[in-house]
Amino acid sequence: MMDSDCLSLLPAVCLVLADPKQSPPDDTSLEKLLDWFKELHSHSNGQVLLQHQPCVLEFISSICTSKTTDPAILSFTLKLTGLLAATMQGFHLLEKGGLVVCVFKREAWCVCDLWEDASVRSGWLQGLLNMLNHQQALDFICGNGLIKLILQLQNDKSLFVSCLANQLLVHILNFLTSSNMTNKYLFEDISIHSITSSVVLLLRICSGHCPSSSQHIKAFTHLIGCCKVQRCGLDTLGALSVYEENMDLRKDIFGVLLDYLRSSDSHATVIKKTFQAIKRWIVVCSPFPDLLQFVSHDLFPVLEKRLCDLRWEVRDSTLEFITQLTAALNGNSGFTEALHTSGMVSVLLSSLADAEGYVRASAVAAVGEAVTASFHQTALVSNSNLLEEALVQMMTVLSEDTEGFPRRAVVKAFTSWLKGSHPVTALDSSLSSVLLLGGNDFDWEVKMHTLELAEVLMEKTLTCCPYAIQNFGSSKEKHFMQALSRLKDFGLLDLLLNSLFDCDRPVCEKACALLVKLRTITAETVDLDHSAFVLNDLVRERTVIYTASRTLVYLRYCRF
């Protein structure tokens, strides 16, 4: 409670805390006292408390000048000072009395050995973090050389201290990059072009290409092979792709990125970051005519090499990159032609037999995206028979693969093809098998993806049939029955009815939802008196089973 009684006790509390002869309270009590100060401080502007309770200022001053201060009390004081200085009014009052410098400048402490205690270091960081709510606090931190000490504490032996240092640095950086701080701390003469060149140089140094000057070799040695710096540099280089003024540096940028892909020393996570950066730069550079030559003659050979890497993570990242790049450049006829004529598709198809299940799943996605891209290139499809070969191999994966990830990927690939704007009649011969195999799969996610495929097939078949543009009732019903019969021939109705018996609840619910959806469409399209006859004629041998199954599903999931 923040009443007058509590405030009246504050001078006595400060005297007890400042008395070195008294045993310091436990950490929990000190934290509760800090919470009380925080709540009290939030109800004022920071100036009221310090003006009406001078004992607080006296307490802070006595702790900093004491030669017998307990580490726990000093840590508490550091946090409290930061809390009181969180407002500009409070900061000015503390600064006027010289307390901000006295508290946060270690040189002002009478007992410097206290810094060796981790609780004091964490209290110092937490105090600065509490205070950093206004520009005056930022000016104090930057103007007194505290940044260097904060950076050193990032490597503190105490994990708690190092984490606090990281939080404080993030807070400082956020403050520096805010709109009202940018003009003060950033220089207009630093161009994006020079920043990008510096990042490229840093990445070259990290890969072992040190500057020729012997004076700087020792300074850069520790950066060689440093994965953390490499990943950070690659992220930065990818983000810099949004600036048009960097386009004239694209050859240097692609050069350093290719070096990372070619290097046998590159870590798997670094290669993944490299792929992400390359994709961003390729997408923004797609209008340039020299890009396709880079992709065909430089990039694809490196990708083929990486698809043979002994590390499955690298093979998986390579396939994911090819999938994402193909999707991003979908409609780019030049890239699609290069993808097919370079032999990359054959390499993708061979990856369907990879020893690692995750890689096979990524290979399925890559092949699926390559087929999707080829829909825009009719001549390529007819010449290479890519779709036919892909269908054969994917059906093999769906029927024989022992892991669930590749089988899920196959069903999702069929769904993606079916959703496409280009009708693919060659899929019709395989859809029945996909629905049958997917519906009987022992992996519940494969069955869910199969039901999603069934939903797309149902929508495509019913919305694309001629009845949509017919105005005559009898003709409308006739075309709808033809579409419904086509779905039955695909095995879609059997799939939905069989899925009602599934042991996995999401599968049952999805099947029920699709059956209800089909019933609704039927009722809206066909005469109500005739709609029941239509459905019974198509599934007459299953109506009794369907009714029984609904009862079973209800009983199964209503158990307590």
Residue 533 pLDDT more than 50? no
Q: What's the pLDDT tens digit per position in 469-519?
A: 444 455 767 778 888 888 888 999 899 999 988 899 999 999 999 998 888
- AA letter at 415: T
Rounded distance between C-alpha atoms, residue 530 and residue 509, angstroms: 27
Spatial contact of 316 and 358, defined as CB atoms under 8 Å apart: yes
Rounded distance between C-alpha atoms, residue 28 and residue 237, angstroms: 46
Q: What's the pLDDT tens digit per position in 98-137?
A: 888 888 887 767 666 788 889 889 999 999 999 988 888 8
Please name which of 443, 354, 455, 370 lies closest in space to residue 407, comparing C-alpha atoms.
443
Q: What's the pLDDT tens digit per position in 198-224?
A: 999 999 988 887 666 555 566 677 778
Residue 437 pLDDT more than 80? yes
Rounded distance between C-alpha atoms, residue 501 and residue 447, angstroms: 12
Rounded distance between C-alpha atoms, residue 407 and residue 405, angstroms: 6
Lookup result for tokens 């200085």: 85
Query: Which band of pLDDT confidence, cut at 50, 70 and 90, is reported for residue 277?
Result: very high
Average pLDDT over residues 341-361: 93
Query: What is the tally of helices (H) and strands (E) in the chain?
Result: 33, 0
Rounded distance between C-alpha atoms, residue 171 and residue 177, angstroms: 10
Query: What token pair was written down for 477?
Result: 């019903």
Integer CA distances (angstroms), 186 to 141, 146, 149, 179, 191, in order: 17, 19, 22, 11, 11
The secondary structure of 319-381, three-state, reads HHHHHHHHHHCCCCHHHHHHHHHCCHHHHHHHHHHCCCHHHHHHHHHHHHHHHHHHCCCHHHH
**The overall pTM is greater than 0.75:** no
Residue 71 pLDDT more than 70? yes
Lookup result for tokens 């105090």: 127
Rounded distance between C-alpha atoms, residue 70 and residue 75, angstroms: 9
Residue 405 pLDDT more than 90? yes
What's the mean per-residue pLDDT of the chain? 82
Residue 235 pLDDT more than 90? yes
Q: What is the largest CA-CA distance in the chain?
A: 101
Which helix (H) or strand (E) segment holds residue 453: the answer is helix 444-464
Spatial contact of 264 and 310, defined as CB atoms under 8 Å apart: no
Spatial contact of 83 and 41, defined as CB atoms under 8 Å apart: yes
Classified as helix, coil or strand, 340 is: helix
Q: What is the pLDDT of residue 559?
A: 43
Please name which of 456, 439, 554 lies closest in space to residue 505, comparing C-alpha atoms.
554
Query: What token pair was written down for 350?
Result: 């061979």
Average pLDDT over residues 445-462: 93
Q: What is the pLDDT of residue 211?
A: 62
How would DSSP label each residue in 380-427? HHHHH-HHHHHHHHHHHHHHH-SSHHHHHHHHHHHHHHHHSSS--GGG
Average pLDDT over residues 399-423: 91
Rounded distance between C-alpha atoms, residue 441 and residue 411, angstroms: 11
% residues pLDDT > 70 (the chain): 80
Query: What token pair was written down for 200?
Result: 């490229």
Query: What token pair was written down for 429?
Result: 């011969």
Rounded distance between C-alpha atoms, residue 277 and residue 298, angstroms: 16
Q: How many residues does the chain have?
A: 560
The whole-angstrom distance between residue 460's C-alpha and the CA centroid of its chain comes to 33
Lookup result for tokens 């089909």: 518
Q: DSSP H helical segments within 43-85, as ranges?
A: 47-52, 54-65, 71-84
